[in-house]
Amino acid sequence: MKRTILTLGLLWAACFGASAQMRLTLAEAIDLALSENPTIKVAELEVQRFDYVKRQTWGNLLPQLSASGSYQRSIVKSEMRGGISFGADNTFAVQGDLTLPLFAPQVYRTMKLNNTQMAAAVEAARSSRIALVSEVKKAFYNILLAEQSLDVLRESQATVQRTVDDTDLQYRHGLASEYDLLTAQVQLSNLQPTIIQTETSIKLAKLLLKMYLSIPEEVEIDIEGQLDAMRDQVLAGTDGLTADLTENSDLRTLDLQQELLRRQLKVANAGRLPSLGAFGSATYSGNDMAPFMGIGGEDASKYFWTHPITVGVQLSVPIFAGLTRMNKSREIKNQISQLSLQRTYAEQQISVQMQSALNDLLTAREKMFAQERTVEQARKAYAISDTRYRAGAGTILELNSAQLARTQAQLNFSQAIYDYLSAKAEYDRIAGREK
């Protein structure tokens, strides 16, 4: 139901063009990506394709029925010595053939191979979903970080603007020097390029998110939530997080590839086994040789009809195929050995990635705690510096330094939360968690 509503909202927004806006939570963005992203649709179609492949193999065990018909007209008949010709001028024939496999070991093993192929396609689709969810989360958090940074910079800009106005007023009354005024104005001017760059980064981050969600570029999106409000998620720390790689999609894919090769080996070996099948054939044919053959006397029909029916069984025993089957088996065994080595090495690599993700989580969590204290200290230091400056006991350099420290502390705090959430998204991808 949620996906239907989101899809309808997307269509409505697309119809209204640039004037339309969509508001999305993280959960809604993930649901929309999983329902609209072409990568997911392709993966689902691949699962469907292997379902058809499986049905094709199963169809080889069903009876095969075919029919054919022919008409033949003799232009020049066969002749004997003396100029006597024989044969029919016109011949009609209709034939039906029926075959039924009774024992087909290669088909049986191919069906088991198809089951493994289906499982591999399902895992590939799951891997696509896991990767997409991770990318959507990171893009969403990136927008939150940029918007949070923009709010901090604009707040800083407003504070510095107030300082400039106050210093300008003091300068006109002879209470402040021109140096103090210029210093405040320079600090204000230095903020503008950073604000413009942050606004641009927000636009680019939203374009990336819209690409993942398959939303047209002309449709504006707004995301709900604030990065600092996600502090509670960081407080949870690494509770319940383990280094278990059981659900890792890359390793599961390698396991399924090994199983596929083992199934292929059994299919190849089944080519050495005998197969047994039943067959039947029914023919109904007629020609105009009846008068010539003297059948039926003067009242004989013009055509002579026959309808033979045959049935039987056929046993096929492979004896020698130029060593192709043996070398095919050796080739598959070689691939199995290669994949086994790749799987061992991949597990070591992914284990390192998992440990790195856990370390990033712990590091970001500690950084957030440290920056949270720094933000409070920087705010208090700025308040003291601002009071001293307005009382004439402090300098503009002290005030500027305190303002920069407060701004940087707030940005670092938001960055620490983003680093944790981004590391958590990466951990979920490695651990094989879809949401």
- The type of residue at 10 is L
Question: Across the chain, what does the average pLDDT equal?
Answer: 87
Is the pLDDT at 101 greater than 90? The verdict is yes
pLDDT for position 292? 55
Is the pLDDT at 83 greater than 70? The verdict is no
Euclidean distance between CA atoms 395 and 50, whole angstroms: 75
Is the pLDDT at 278 greater than 90? The verdict is yes
Share of the chain above pLDDT 90, in %: 55
What digits encode the pLDDT tens for the residues 243-271? Answer: 889 999 999 999 999 999 999 999 999 98
Give the contacts of 322 (CB within 8 A, at least 6 positions apart).
none
Residue 322 region, left (φ>0) first, then alpha (ψ -120 to 50), else beta?
A: left
Phi, psi values for residue 70, rounded to 5°: -150, 155
pLDDT for position 102? 92
What digits encode the pLDDT tens for the residues 375-388? Answer: 999 999 989 988 88
pLDDT class of 18 with cuts at 50, 70, 90: very low
pLDDT class of 320 with cuts at 50, 70, 90: confident
Average pLDDT of the segment spanning 34-62: 93
pLDDT for position 180? 84
Average pLDDT of the segment spanning 402-416: 91
- The type of residue at 13 is A
Is the pLDDT at 232 greater than 90? The verdict is no
| Residue environment code for 338-374, b if the CB has 16+ CB neighbours within 10 A, otherwise e | ebeeebeebeeebeebbeebbebbeebbebbeebbeb
Is the pLDDT at 217 greater than 90? The verdict is no
pLDDT for position 300? 47
Is the pLDDT at 9 greater than 70? The verdict is no
Average pLDDT of the segment spanning 201-209: 94
Range with the poorest average pLDDT among 81-95, 125-139, 251-265: 81-95
* pTM for the structure as a whole: 0.83
Choose among 372, 400, 374, 407: nearest CA to 385: 400
Using DSSP, state whether 359 is helix, strand or coil.
Answer: helix
pLDDT class of 167 with cuts at 50, 70, 90: confident
